[in-house]
Amino acid sequence: MYPSELFDKRMLFDRSSVTKISGVRNEASGVRRNASVRKNSAQKAGFRSTFELNLARSLADKGVTYEYESTKLTYVPKPRTYTPDFYIPETGIYIEAKGHLDKSDRMKMLLVKEQYPDLDIRFVFLRANNKIYKGSKTTYADWATKHKFEWAEGSIPEGWCKNG
């Protein structure tokens, strides 16, 4: 399936109707008032987040063939399933889009990497300089580098999309 075909099936609205990432914060609660609007826009398009939606749009705009959540990998100790966000068939790269990388995500990714050493799984972080937990000096980027995951910030590098 070509990206334009996949994208057309997922898109129920034109690009201009997606709410921008910046939202108005309620100072007292720290909650974005527009968060549900953005999430619903991504969900309507078949994605789990606006970040994933924007990555898919970028791939489609570049003419890159990709699959979204098409692979399921079972890992242990308790049998669980991990579904990478994107797969680029031309390069054989799996891409995990992460806005938030919590402890369970980090543990899951280490188990998957250990149990599937031949898969090329890479991260695209919304903000690579976020700390892995409050008060930590370790950033998402530091963690990924330490555990030998290739990573990028904000968008998928062109080199990950095409061979050669």
Examine the domain organization and report whether 117 and 72 are in the same domain: yes
Average pLDDT over every residue of 120-149: 96
Domain final residue, candidates 41, 62, 83:
62
Residue 119's CATH number = 3.40.91.30
Domain final residue, candidates 42, 62, 82:
62
Examine the domain organization and report whether 83 and 139 are in the same domain: yes
Give the pLDDT score at 101: 95
Examine the domain organization and report whether 32 and 85 are in the same domain: no
Examine the domain organization and report whether 83 and 54 are in the same domain: no
Examine the domain organization and report whether 79 and 144 are in the same domain: yes
- Is the pLDDT at 115 greater than 50? The verdict is yes
Examine the domain organization and report whether 23 and 79 are in the same domain: no
Examine the domain organization and report whether 57 and 87 are in the same domain: no
Q: Compare 62 and 164 and report the one with higher pLDDT.
A: 62
Domain final residue, candidates 40, 62, 84:
62
The model's pTM is 0.74
Examine the domain organization and report whether 56 and 16 are in the same domain: yes
Examine the domain organization and report whether 57 and 91 are in the same domain: no
Give the total number of structural domains in the chain: 2
Give the pLDDT score at 24: 40
Calpha distance 58→18 (Å, rounded): 14
Examine the domain organization and report whether 81 and 154 are in the same domain: yes
- Is the pLDDT at 150 greater than 60? The verdict is yes
Give the pLDDT score at 142: 97
* Per-residue H/E/C for the chain: CCHHHHHHHHCCCCHHHCCCCCCCECCCCCCECCHHHHHHHHHHCCCCCHHHHHHHHHHHHHCCCCEECCCCEEECCCCEEECCCEEECCCCEEEEEECCCCHHHHHHHHHHHHHCCCCEEEEEECCCCCECCCCCCCEHHHHHHHCCCCEEECCCCHHHCCCC
Q: Token pair of 125, please? A: 């972080």
Examine the domain organization and report whether 76 and 155 are in the same domain: yes
Among residues 109, 102, 93, the alpha carbon closest in space to that of 132 is found at 102
Examine the domain organization and report whether 7 and 80 are in the same domain: no
**Domain extent for 98:** 67-160
